């Protein structure tokens, strides 16, 4: 029997396994090296970002510490400093450097040396005008950016009629539209102050200028809204023709006579005046008269001995006559023969005041040496916008 020999392992058979193992070991080492390199770069980037973030926060903190605190009433506001410098010394460099809204630039700043009053001063003037005893306080006030303001008034009624189911509808009346144009006129004031007074740093030049201009503008406006003839000034409601309210027509002011020449009698004519106004206007009616007339009217009593006049119950509330508020306007005439000393109406519907919201001031240090003149101008207009909304009491027999 022949013995079969099993062949033993050949030394060359283990070489591929060792090669694969060595290759895998090298790949693992390369991957570990790559991971270590990536981790190192990520760490460097994080350190760099942290450093940049710290620098940014330090720069922000320094800028915030150097920046002044903001305040709505900052007395050192740029426009106030520039305007004060212009009023005191005529230096307009600060005004030229201000960034104003384009709307204001297009409507107010011209090449003749006019400049806008700073917002705080302009607001002071406006508040004084509003609080003055003027028709402005009860009229309809609008701000415009043009040379005039047009009011469209529908003074007619649409006709109506009854129709049957099969009957033909007939044509009815159509409303009548009136167009009232209110031109704007230039109102000016020319206060002055000595240069020495302006040089005094403790002197409130802005407050002084606002007070002086407001007083002049308020007096001029109050008179024009009542008595103005429309010639380079607003048209007052008293300048229109006055007719007996029984034959009143559009374009005129209706009146009620007291029945006593230059007197008021028992005061019943005041009641007639109230009810001569349409109900739609009467709900918002206001009496207008001067102080002398008010002194005479407040003495009137009804048949039970009660005064027709009642004072306001709280501060700021107007006095009332027959339950309606009373505006004391000193530009109304005194009681006299044929005088229309009392007006009653819904002035928010009956009279319109149109104005441009800007105010211009021109400094003139030459014309009145050693004083400095301040030429302030404002454009305003006013006119009756609804003739049916205003009635007057005429102190006459008829």
Burial class of residue 28 in the structure, from the number of CB atoms within 10 Å of its CB (0-12 exposed, 13-18 middle, 19+ buried): exposed
Report the candidate in 209, 179, 250 with the shortest Cα–Cα distance to residue 88: 209
Dihedrals φ, ψ of 379, to 5°?
Answer: -105, 125
Dihedrals φ, ψ of 122, to 5°?
Answer: -60, -40
Could you tell me the domains of the chain?
A: 78-154+177-232+355-383 (3.30.2400), 237-352+385-394 (3.30.2320)
Q: 313 CB contacts (<8 Å, ≥6 apart)? A: none
Report the candidate in 262, 257, 276 with the shortest Cα–Cα distance to residue 390: 276
Which residues of the chain carry a pLDDT beneath 50? Answer: 1-4, 6, 9-12, 68-73, 100-114
The answer to whether the Cα torsion of 55, 60, 61, 66 is positive or negative is: positive
> In 3-state terms, the chain is what percent helix, strand and coil (to 5)?
40, 20, 40
Strands 185-189 and 115-116: unpaired
How far, in Å, CA of 344 to CA of 327, rounded? 10
Q: Write out the H or E segment, with its range, that includes residue 287.
A: strand 286-289
CA dihedral 211, 216, 222, 228 (to 10 degrees): -160
β partners of residue 351: 384
- Token pair for 46: 């994080």
Q: Which residue has the tokens 């201000």?
A: 98
Dihedrals φ, ψ of 15, to 5°?
Answer: -65, -45
Beta-carbon neighbour count of residue 176 at 10 Å?
11
The tens digit of pLDDT for each residue in 184-215 reads: 999 988 888 787 777 765 667 777 777 888 88
How far, in Å, CA of 326 to CA of 307, rounded? 15
- pLDDT on residue 102: 42
289, 333 contact by CB (below 8 A):
no
394, 254 contact by CB (below 8 A):
no
How far, in Å, CA of 1 to CA of 219, rounded? 151
Beta-carbon neighbour count of residue 13 at 10 Å?
8
β partners of residue 151: 180
Residue 152 half-sphere exposure, CB side, CA atoms within 13 Å?
3
Q: 316 CB contacts (<8 Å, ≥6 apart)? A: none
- pLDDT on residue 273: 96
249: left (phi over 0), alpha (psi -120 to 50) or beta: beta
Q: 15 CB contacts (<8 Å, ≥6 apart)? A: none
How far, in Å, CA of 105 to CA of 361, rounded? 15
Q: Write out the H or E segment, with its range, that includes residue 244.
A: strand 242-244
Strands 185-189 and 342-345: unpaired
- The conformation of residue 169, written as its DSSP 8-state character, comes to P
Beta-carbon neighbour count of residue 325 at 10 Å?
16
Q: 263 CB contacts (<8 Å, ≥6 apart)? A: 335, 395
Report the candidate in 265, 266, 330 with the shortest Cα–Cα distance to residue 293: 330
């Amino acid at each position: 029997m022949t013995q079969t020999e099993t062949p033993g392992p050949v030394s060359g058979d283990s070489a591929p396994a060792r090669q694969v193992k060595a290759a895998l070991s090298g790949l693992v080492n390369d991957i570990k090296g790559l991971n270590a390199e990536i981790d190192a770069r990520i760490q460097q980037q994080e350190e760099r970002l942290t450093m940049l973030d710290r620098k940014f926060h330090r720069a922000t903190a320094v800028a915030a510490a150097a920046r002044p605190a903001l305040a709505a009433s900052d007395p050192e506001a740029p426009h106030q400093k520039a305007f004060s410098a212009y009023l005191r010394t005529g230096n307009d460099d600060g005004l030229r450097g201000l960034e104003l809204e384009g709307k204001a630039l297009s409507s107010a700043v011209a090449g003749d040396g006019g400049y806008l009053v700073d917002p705080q001063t302009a607001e002071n003037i406006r508040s004084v005008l509003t609080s003055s005893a003027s028709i402005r306080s009860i009229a309809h006030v609008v701000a415009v950016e043009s040379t005039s303001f047009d009011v469209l008034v529908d003074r007619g009624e649409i006709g109506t009629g009854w129709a049957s189911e099969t009957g033909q509808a007939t044509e009815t009346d159509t409303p009548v539209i009136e167009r009232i144009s209110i031109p704007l006129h230039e109102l000016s004031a020319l206060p002055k102050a000595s240069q020495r007074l302006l040089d005094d740093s403790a002197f409130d030049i802005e407050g002084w200028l606002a007070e002086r201009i407001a007083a002049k503008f308020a007096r001029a406006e109050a008179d024009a809204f009542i008595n103005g003839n429309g010639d380079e000034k607003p048209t007052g409601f008293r300048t229109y023709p006055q007719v007996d309210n029984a034959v009143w027509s559009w374009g005129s002011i209706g009146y009620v006579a007291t029945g006593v020449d230059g007197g008021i009698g028992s005061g019943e004519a005041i009641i007639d005046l109230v009810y001569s106004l349409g109900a739609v206007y009467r709900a918002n009616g206001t009496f207008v008269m001067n102080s002398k007339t008010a002194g005479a009217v407040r003495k009137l009593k009804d048949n039970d001995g009660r005064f027709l006049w009642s004072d306001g119950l709280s501060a700021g509330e107007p006095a009332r006559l027959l339950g309606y508020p009373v505006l004391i306007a000193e530009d109304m005439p005194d009681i006299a023969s044929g005088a229309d000393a009392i007006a009653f109406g819904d002035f928010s519907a009956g009279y319109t005041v149109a104005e441009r919201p800007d105010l211009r001031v021109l400094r003139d240090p030459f014309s009145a040496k050693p004083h400095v003149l301040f030429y302030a101008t404002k454009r305003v207009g006013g006119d009756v916008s609804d003739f049916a909304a205003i009635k007057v009491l005429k102190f006459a027999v008829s």
